[in-house]
Structure 1
């Protein structure tokens, strides 16, 4: 089982999902990596997305170029929450609004018509395209709503003077056996492994396995764990797949090499 420091290092080592060329007008903001230990106390049941926001907060606070103004600003209308601004900060006097995203996507060419359309969540409940659309139509435009003006005024800011950007990181998984495929729009360094259908897992009978809990999906593989044999692993896997839950699995080959993957129910 990993701790938050290991998860933080895993987050730092995850590349941005795209590099310098914006996707759908969205520009990545690059922060200076910091290896300062993560000691912030967080709730044990914190969701992965919220934990990642804490990691970004640490980076912002320890980047000498930046001044962090506020985080997780709740915007309300008639006492009803309509959204949240992840981060406000300044760099060389220029104010920024940053939205933070960390995703796990699998490549399925049967979905949609473009490379970006093909990246979907492990359980087919979300997609890269849907997240981009949400950023473009809901999360980033929140800055310009009338309901946000009083919050910005607390920091002597006006929306039209603020630059917007994202910190969008991801771990990507491609179909088992896919080789020599060129991806034009995403950062290939985000590809960390394969995903397998149940029948393909039978080709890994010689390997050992571990099913990490979701927060540990962030981490690099911890080899000091209780690895399962294929026989021990299979019943646990079948229960998850019957529930239509595609787990991340850590795999160790007979030669001791380790790799991440997903096993899908679809």
Structure 2
């Protein structure tokens, strides 16, 4: 994996306005980074943990924030009841921030509800933006004030901490979506989604494709060097559909790149 491409993809990820999430937003662009030192990305961890490692490195490389605590497991009666992602501090103001981080991919299904915030779901329909926000509100952010957290976070006055969310999202809309979305979602929209039948019908002989592994999701397709014909990936896509898996597909036509999910539903 190209570390430069991975870091760039994270810095350029979309984020949602606080009026949509209900939480103060922490924008990675607020990090004052003069130069990012070379570092090797781990290869044996899941995408979410990989992003945590990169964001940790970015904060460490910044001159305006420092990490006080990172990945603190809160333990009660010898059982882990949750984890706090970061406690960081602004080096100038000394303001401390409880920072929760998430890196997500959501697809817009307008058939679910008349409330747009309820319509963003995971590619395989087993999670949603609304569920994530509910968990943050009821579990992850309140964890800071749990007596066990207060006792574990030495020299931290939790009553003065600001809580912020760094929700990095890539949003995908239905192919030829007819309804208009709230403009606040637009900066995070990366592409569209279709089913396999429509994908094959829309195939152009000039198109080339690549099915990235999940660890490469979010990286711009232009960084990819290996491309395939439709007949090379078609059987894989049919198997994905049978297994109810919705793969991300990168499409290349000349110098034009598209990101799309091919959904089983």
Name the TM-score, length of structure 2 as normaliser: 0.91
Find the counterpart in structure 2 of residue 215 from structure 1.
Answer: 215
Find the counterpart in structure 1 of residue 260 from structure 2.
Answer: 261
What SS does the corresponding residue of 2:15 show, helix, strand or coil? coil
Q: How does 1:122-201 map to 2 (within 5 A)?
A: 122-152=123-153, 154=154, 156-178=155-177, 181-184=180-183, 186-201=184-199
Aligned length: 259
Q: Deviations over 1:89-146 (max 9, x none)?
A: 1121111100001100000011233111010000001000000000000000000101
Q: Contact 1:5/1:38 (CA < 8 Å) preserved in 2? A: no
Deviation at 1:38, TM superposition (A): 5.7
Structure 1 pair 12–223 and aligned structure 2 pair: CA distance change class (3 A): closer
CA–CA distance in 2 between the matches of 1:194 and 1:217? 14
What SS does the corresponding residue of 2:56 show, helix, strand or coil? helix
Find the counterpart in structure 1 of residue 106 from structure 2.
Answer: 105
Deviation at 1:41, TM superposition (A): 3.8
Alignment of 1:29 with 2:30, yes or no, is no
Task: Looking at secondary structure, tell me which structure has more helix per residue.
Answer: 2
Deviation at 1:62, TM superposition (A): 2.4
Deviation at 1:29, TM superposition (A): 1.2
What SS does the corresponding residue of 1:195 show, helix, strand or coil? strand
Structure 1 pair 101–33 and aligned structure 2 pair: CA distance change class (3 A): farther
Q: Deviations over 1:45-80 (max 9, x none)?
A: 211111111121122222222221111011001111
Deviation at 1:225, TM superposition (A): 2.3
Alignment of 1:94 with 2:95, yes or no, is yes
Alignment of 1:63 with 2:62, yes or no, is yes
Find the counterpart in structure 2 of residue 234 from structure 1.
Answer: 234
Q: Which sections of structure 1, spanning at least 5 residues, go unmatched?
A: none
Structure 1 pair 38–123 and aligned structure 2 pair: CA distance change class (3 A): farther
CA–CA distance in 2 between the matches of 1:33 and 1:65? 6
Q: Which sections of structure 2, spanning at least 5 residues, go unmatched?
A: none
Deviation at 1:6, TM superposition (A): 1.2
CA–CA distance in 1 between the matches of 2:179 and 2:33? 34
CA–CA distance in 2 between the matches of 1:102 and 1:182? 21
What SS does the corresponding residue of 1:22 show, helix, strand or coil? helix
Q: Contact 2:20/2:117 (CA < 8 Å) preserved in 1? A: no
What SS does the corresponding residue of 2:118 show, helix, strand or coil? coil
Structure 1 pair 41–115 and aligned structure 2 pair: CA distance change class (3 A): same
